[in-house]
Chain A
Amino acid sequence: MKGKKTLSKTSKNNFITMGGLLLVYVIVLILKEGGITTNLINGQLVPICAYMIMAISLNLTVGILGELSLGHAGFMSVGAFGGVLVGTLMQEVSDSKILCLLVAVIAGGVLAALAGFLIGIPVLRLRGDYLAIVTLAFGQIIKSIVNILYVGLDADGLHVGFIEKPEILEEGKMIINGAMGATGIRKLSTFTFAFIVLMLCLIVIYNLIQSRTGRAIMALRDNRIAAESVGINVTKYKLLVFAISAAMAGMAGTVFAYNYSTVAPTKFDFNTSILVLVFVVLGGLGSMRGSLIAAALLTLLPELLREFSDYRMLVYAIVLILVMLGTNNPKIRDFFAKIVGKIKSVFVRKKTAKEENANG
């Protein structure tokens, strides 16, 4: 076996994550086709994929680049509405569902990347909480603008209006209708499609992190001044990360929007940005696997807590706080680690006992 490169530990880990994800996908697909999973789970598959993309893309900004962003939902919004707009136009010329969706997702990604580039510019001057507030402001600006954006389509073509709703012909329709958002979207997103987009994003991120570029980005995070002094171009890499991260969020937005018949601008507000940030921090900064798991669990959690009826969101809040304490407090962590150790030692003892029995 000479000449074959052995995989580094990180690559191995990455492959495990991707393999695990693929395995979960196959199992869920089989269960779904077999009619075993409930409607609730089936209905959540696409949004979970979309939130997973959101989580890993934000992790790229927060975990790898090390800049806090509080406006990630803004990019999702750009992707959702941009994607729906382009997708609806595409439907006029093509009947192929998958083609429409594909074009929409790409358009959503490109538009969001442009927005990410735009927001990336102030990033060069600001740091820490001041940068965070700018991203928050940016998210709010996007929300307000989409709120007053009207795009109508009729036989005469596209009509765009701000604040004032444009006049459209009787048989025409509004694609983006101000505060109502986009309604009457055809449900084109499927679990498989969403999964493929997710997998592609994951592969891109892993490759980016492991590349020369990725190492430069992490150097910036760990020590900006040192990185700058060895000639790493801060501007270039920060803008790059912001644009890539935004593009992925945009794609997630399109996938998400095409799973529902309506999407409103208020959906992508500060709370959604925060929710995605919670996924990232809970999953562990820089850990894509953690982000994926946290996104899936925390999206499912409120639904599975419905048993508590009125106390549902209260329980959710408590779980969130406890998990944060459990994963970040050394004392509590040691306490759990001890229990794990004990359980493990019991298992190990059993195992050895079994082996002895087998031998004897």
Chain B
Amino acid sequence: MEFLSNVINGISLGSIYAIIALGYTMVYGIAKMLNFAHGDVIMVGAYVCFFMTSRYNMPAVVGILLSMFVCTVLGIVIERLAYKPLRQATSLAVLITAIGMSYFLQNGAQLLWTSNPKVFKSVVGDGGVQLTEGLYVSHVTLVTIAVCVIIMIALTVFTGKSKMGKAMRACSEDKGAAQLMGINVNTTISITFAIGSALAAIAGVLLCSAYPNLVPTTGSMPGIKAFTAAVFGGIGSIPGALIGGILLGIIEIFAKAYISTEISDAIVFAVLIVVLLVKPTGLLGKKISEKV
């Protein structure tokens, strides 16, 4: 029973990592850049939703839609101002710019909304389902998992079937060749960012619904954990992000429950290293054969 309860707790935590990881992996898969500001876009999304629902008493749906809108615009603006001018530069240069962007968003949020922590009102209510004695699944977890699966399927279908999705995949394979085929690489990457940022808004709202502590640094640590989860599942792979996220959550909870809360972080990362040693491109990552 205790074991099952730990599994459920692990899935709850993991589903949050998974939903953030989906955004990470989406952007990485297409634009081939580690967007370290992703965690901070999440934070902005959560703040927007918080102000709508808690300050102005709007219904949750309005909060979510508005925060998706704000994040999408923010994502496009960030991409245009900070990443687009560096399309030709090395990936490391873009990485550093993304870090600068992350500092910018965190400090901007602190100036705008102060550093006082805020308690986020869950958008799906506080209740849950009592399966049996001692087994309890909260609504947030159920909703998060459902949303994860929906997003995963939608993204897979979108990138697999739609014209835009095909263009995205073409860009991720070879930007130059895609351009020659008449694909507008810049627009495609901008749209990728827009989608990634909209996903970040949803992730932010769900993150704060599950763990209702909202401060300007809310997104940074879950962001890093989710990045880890994305790599774990094979970065760039959409189902991999979901599986990686959930597994990471379960490993974290198990490490805490059965080994020690003091060194759970060390164990989580040690497991990650071992997995990568066995499968060097993550669980579902594509093995890229090298051209000579």
Contact = CB atoms under 8 A, between A and B. Distances in A.
B97 A134 contact: no
B44 interface: no
At the interface, is chain A mostly helix, strand, loop or mixed?
A: helix
* Interface size class of chain A, counting residues whose CB lies under 8 Å from the partner chain: 35 or more
In the complex, which range does the number of interface residues on chain B fall in?
35 or more
B141 to A, nearest CB: 26
B86 A324 contact: yes
Given A281-B96, A317-B100, A325 B85 contact: yes
Interface string A317-335: 1101100110111111000
B58 interface: no
Nearest to B87: A329
Contact of B270 (A68, A141, A282, A316): A141
Contact of B280 (A68, A130, A147, A329): A130
A329 B265 contact: no
B96 A277 contact: yes
A309 to B, nearest CB: 11
B170 to A, nearest CB: 21
B136 interface: no
A325 B82 contact: yes
B280 A126 contact: yes
A321 to B, nearest CB: 4
B95 interface: yes
A289 B111 CA distance: 36
A345 to B, nearest CB: 27
B291 to A, nearest CB: 9
Contact of A137 (B85, B108, B269): B269
Given A140-B269, A274-B99, A328-B86, A130 B276 contact: yes
Contacts of B95: 277, 281
Given A140-B269, A148-B263, A332-B85, A321 B104 contact: yes
Given A125-B277, A134-B272, A137-B272, 7 more contacts: A126-B277, A129-B235, A144-B262, A145-B266, A226-B292, A314-B107, A320-B96
18 contacts: A62-B92, A68-B92, A126-B280, A134-B273, A137-B273, A138-B269, A140-B269, A141-B269, A144-B262, A144-B269, A163-B263, A285-B92, A310-B111, A311-B111, A321-B82, A324-B97, A325-B82, A328-B90
